[in-house]
Structure 1
Amino acid sequence: MKNLLTTLTTALMLFNAITLQAQTTITVDNTPGSGAQFSDIQSAVDAASNGDTIYVQQSQSNYGVVVVDKPVTIIGRSALDANFITRIQEIRLTIGSDGTIIRGVSVINGISTVGEGGANPTTGVISNITITECTTSINLGSDGSSDSYDVQNITLSGINHRGIDLDSTVSNVLIDNSSITALSASNPSALLVSNCIFEMRSTSQPQIINSNVNGTITITNTIFEGPVSTLRISGNYSLSFCLLVNVNDPTNPVTVEPNTSATNNVNNCIFGQDPLFVLNGPIPGGQGIFTTIPDFNLQTGSPAIGAGFQGENIGYESTFNFKRLGKPRNFPEVKITNFTNISQPNGTLTFEIQATSH
């Protein structure tokens, strides 16, 4: 953090702020009179060129449905904190969106892949998609239309409190440092799940579903936690270097219920120990707003520290900087903390600027 005392013209300061992160940057804010380039994300995507970055301000009303058909980066103000959430109704990725990055937004109806369907069926590949630090469900693969396309090379990191559904056309998927409520996979051999928090909520139905009888869903370095005493999994599974805990009774070991599939492996796992999160709490539903935002960082003395594969932590990686406020990491935040004089129009102001790297 640095405090800088600099004399700048207002125009120059705004120009630097806008061009700091990308050569071509588009701003979106649906607050009346905000001065942003666009008031809705779809118009910004339509106007963008390949590789452009779209910054979306927080809003009390959501930005609607967005269809992405080109490689762009969409960055929101926050995905968790009620005062700063960038809310979007739905994001649909279609052919042409290869290389898209979505970061720091709350998507009410989730992020999915779609085609045209109907008289214009889509074929092809959607690939190299990164979704990180978002509160959203994920539904990748066939959308039930006449389209036939593959989804490849997907990175899901820092996903908050939602389910993930991957059909048989999806391959090469990495899920890490995310809190997951449900997981369904039809091509588990092309899926890697590690260093996650799995929120167990029910024993009435499986929360992990593997619908491929020939593949095994493999999960490592993951904490399973919730107010339940039994974890149910459908299909072949392998859990290794995981910690399983009933938050209502931490010393009573959670049971992983066997199923009739060929592979039911549980190896090197910890049972009946509290992982000692910095802050755990209830996860209310609805519109992506949380009255209690858990902090899944580990306290000193946690049994999960260094207990994972090759000495890594169980749960979020030690190098992953979990943010309770959901601000995208590694992007600086600039605040004007003081100004020392009153300027006439088009005059010069002296600002004190505080810059913080998240």
Structure 2
Amino acid sequence: MKNLFATFFFVLAVAASQLAQAQTIRRVNNTGVAVSGVNVYSSLQAAHDAASSGDIIYLEPSGISYGALTCIRPLTIIGNGYYLTQNTGLQLDTRESIADAITFAAGSAGSRITGCTLNTSMNIAASNVTVERNRFASGYCYIGYNPSIGSVGVSGIIFRQNIVENGYSVSLYPGSTAGTAVSNVNITNNILTGGITSSGQYTRMSNILISNNVIGTLAGTSQYGIDVDNAVIKNNIMTYTGAGNNFTPRNNAYSYNIAGNAEFGTANGNQQNVTPGNLFVGGTASTDGAFQLRTTSPAIGTGESGVDVGAFGGALPYRLSGIPNVPTIYQYNQSVSGNSLNATISTRSNN
């Protein structure tokens, strides 16, 4: 077993070295397993504080939170994925890499986080931050907000292939003063049970792309929607079936979307009054797999340029369990023959 974990960390090291040869790999482990050596830490903040710009931090599978983080330098943070007991065969170790509140503050521009579970909210208060393939279990993602100082101007934010659970939302948070605008934000291929909200400063957001998301619950009973301005909104599914305003056109271009009510209308390839049960596989599929399209779904091939509508369509579809795009070990077998231990380790790359 010791050799297994050594090989596991070797695979991670190879993956990181593929990202950039000069970067330092820093491991974070709080499981009580005897971990020692250079660049090993028990909390995410401790690893950050020891890191240099451009370093890679691996949150090793644990199931115990690695705590909160205020990030002030550009880093890459990689976890193990989530729902791994539901979506089987993706990782050998099915524990999650969990963190509490994370704030990307001034100085952290260029950071990326992937494969992690967030227990509380995330605040993006720096430009050019990428948040992909994460699980937001109990908190919002605020774009353009630092809880210490309020609204902050940001640009170049990518929020893709995430799942935001329990009615929490992604919130664009421009302020009312100079320097606090939010621009060039891509929100794509996510499952957002609480929708996309804003601070209400609609004229201070620009160049927003909202594409290939599922917004709302499988049942379509919660009034979650989209509340932004100056956005291109396409290829999304908004599940709410009740009457009432959960989308205001404002200065938005919206096309090829599907709604459970009549909010998008039928112009420009939009579909209205579509029952969610006709769209998704639902049932006994995994928490995120339930949002995959049925074979007879009216979302198949009806998006812009013939792509599927929803989180699993488009050029970068949602990835089950948020598996990060580094090599992973998904199977291990061993046998004893005489004095020899024979081991077979199966790995795969992930796009």
TM range (shorter): 0.7 to 0.9
- Aligned to 2:110, what secondary structure does the other structure show? coil
Out of 295, 298, 303, the residue aligned to residue 298 of structure 2 is 303
How big is the alpha-carbon RMSD for the aligned residues of Structure 1 and Structure 2? Answer: 3.4
Q: 1:26 to 1:204 in 2, by over 3 A?
A: closer
Q: Deviations over 1:190-244 (max 9, x none)?
A: 211011111168889774323xxxx444311101114535452356144310111
Closer, same or farther in 2 for the Cα pair 1:107/1:342, shift >3 Å? farther
CA 231–326 in structure 1, closer or farther in 2 if over 3 Å, else same: farther
Q: Which residue of 2 aligns with 1:328?
A: 324
Unaligned 5+ residue runs, structure 2? 18-23, 86-93, 175-180
CA contact (8 A) 1:231 1:255 kept: no
* SS at structure 1 position matched to 2:247: strand
Q: Report the equivalent of 2:177.
A: none
Partner SS for 1:325 = helix
- Equivalents in 1 of 2:224, 2:6: separation in Å? 56
Structure 1 or 2: larger helix share? Answer: 2
Match for 1:228 among 242, 267, 286? 242
Alpha-carbon separation, structure 2, partners of 1:195 and 1:14: 34
Distance 2:275 2:224 in 1: 23
Work out whether residues 280 and 297 of structure 2, in 8 Å CA contact, stay in contact via their aligned partners in 1. no
Farther-moved stretch of structure 1 (232-241 vs 24-33): 232-241
Secondary structure of the residue that 2:48 maps to in structure 1?
helix
Q: What is aligned with 2:346?
A: 354
Is 1:164 aligned to residue 164 of structure 2? no
CA apart distance, 1:41: 0.9
* Aligned residue number for residue 183 of structure 1: 196
Q: Please list the CA deviations of residues 305-334 of structure 1 after superposition, one character each: whole Å capped at 9, or x if unmatched.
A: 221112222113244453433322453325
CA-to-partner distance for each residue in 1:28-84, whole Å, 9 max, x for gaps?
121002526221111111112221111112333222111111111111112344653
Q: Deviations over 1:121-165 (max 9, x none)?
A: xxxxx2211000112231122436557742110100012124111
Residue 63, structure 1, aligned to residue 81, structure 2 = no
CA displacement 1:246-302 (0-9 Å, x = unmatched): xxxxxxxx1229xxxxxx9963211244565553269xxxxxxx9844432223332
In structure 1, stretches of 5+ residues that fail to align are 1-8, 115-125, 246-253, 258-263, 283-289
Question: What is the number of equivalent residue pairs in this alignment?
Answer: 311
Matches within 5 A, 1:263-342: 267-274=268-275, 276-277=278-279, 279-280=281-282, 292-316=287-311, 317-333=313-329, 335-341=331-337
Structure in which a larger fraction of residues adopt strand: 1
The structure whose Rg is larger is 1
Task: Answer whether contact 1:52 1:72 (CA < 8 A) is retained.
Answer: yes
> What is the distance in 2 between the residues matched to 1:91 and 1:268?
38
Q: Which residue of 2 aligns with 1:28?
A: 28
Contact 1:111/1:138 (<8 A) preserved: yes
Instruction: Measure, in 2, the Cα distance between the counterparts of 1:256 and 1:131.
Output: 29
Aligned partners of 1:127 and 1:196: how far apart in 2? 22
**TM-score after normalising by structure 2:** 0.76
Which 4+ runs in 1 deviate beyond 6 A?
9-12, 201-206
Q: Hey, what's the Cα distance between the residues in 2 that align with 1:333 and 1:208? A: 38
Is the partner of 1:42 in helix, strand or coil?
Answer: helix
CA 1:113–1:216 in 2, change beyond 3 Å: closer, same or farther? closer
Given that 1:78 and 1:327 are in contact with CA atoms closer than 8 Å, whether structure 2 keeps it comes out as yes
Question: What TM-score do the two structures reach when normalised by structure 1?
Answer: 0.74
Q: What one-letter code is carried by the residue in structure 2 that aligns with 1:354?
A: S
Farther-moved stretch of structure 1 (66-75 vs 76-85): 76-85
**CA distance in 2: counterparts of 1:170 and 1:302, whole angstroms:** 35
Aligned to 1:209: 227
- The alpha-carbon distance between structure 1 residues 34 and 196, as it changes in their structure 2 partners (threshold 3 A), is farther
